[in-house]
Amino acid sequence: MLAGSGHAAFAVDVGSDDAFAALHDSVQAWLGTGRALDVLVNNAGIASGGALVDTTMEEWRRVLEINLLGVVRGCRTFLPAMLQRGSGQILNIASFAGLAGAPSIMSYGVAKAGVVALSEQLRAELHTTGVDVSVACPAFFQTNLLQSWHGDPNMKAAAQRMMQRSHDSLDHVADRVFAAVQQRAFLILPTHAEPLRWRIKRWFPEFYFRRLTRAVAAMTRSKT
C-alpha cells in the first residue's frame, strides 16, 4: 500500500478471488470501522482480438477471468457494505465493443457484453437500495490498453490506428463519464460517435448491420 494526503493505493490481481479478499481487508482497515466505499469503479481489463476460429480457449479463459469476472469480484467484494449503509455508486467500465456486435473482437467483445448485462441486472437488483449502478461503453481513444494485447497482431495494428485517429481524448472521456455518474445515468457512451451509433443499432438493426459490415470490408481492403 502507498498512502498519503488522504489517498491510498493498493495493488490487486483482479483475476484472483483471494487477492480481492485481501484487498477488501486492506481497504477496510484503511477506511476504519463503520465506513464503506462511496464509489466503486471496476476498470481493469486486457485487450484481445481475432476471429473465433483463431482464438484459443486459453485466451477466452484469461479475458473472461479478468474483463468480466474481475468486475463480478469487485461488485461482490464491496457491495455488501454499501447495502448495509444504504448508499453507494458502482461504475463498471465496459466498452462499445460490448454493444457493437462487431467481428474479430470475439473474446473481448463477449466479455464486455457480459459487463453490460451484469450492470443491467445489478441495477434492477439494487433498485430501492440506495446503491446506483452505471456502465460506461467508450469506443477507441488513446490509452495503453493495447500493451496487454492477446490475439491477432493485424487486429492489434488496426486497433492502434483507430486509437490514433480518434477525436476523443482521455480527459474528454473521463469528464463525460464523471458528469454522467454525477447525474446517476446508467448507460454512458462517452465518445463522440457512439450515442448515434447505439441509437441506429437499436432503432434500425439491419441498417446498422449493413453499415457495420461495409465498414469492416473497407478496413480489410485498406490493409491489403
Distance between CA 159 and CA 56 in Å, rounded?
A: 20
Given 3-state DSSP classes, what are the helix, strand and coil percentages for the chain, each rounded to the nearest 5? 60, 15, 30
Catalytic site residue from 108, 140, 141, 208: 108
Task: Please name every residue paired with 50 in a beta bridge, in sequence order, or none if there are none.
Answer: 105
Among candidates 82, 95, 166, 167, which has minimal Cα distance to 135? Answer: 95
Instruction: Give catalytic status of residue 208 as yes or no.
Output: no
Query: Could you give the residue ranges of the DSSP H alpha helices within 32-105?
Result: 57-63, 69-85, 97-100
Q: What is the DSSP string of 110-154?
A: HHHHHHHHHHHHHHHHTTTTTEEEEEE-----S-SGGGG-EE-HH
The DSSP letter of residue 92 is: E
Q: Cα dihedral angle (189, 195, 197, 202), rounded to 10 degrees?
A: 100
Return the C-alpha cell found at 209: 448491420
Tell me which residues are annotated as active site.
Answer: 108
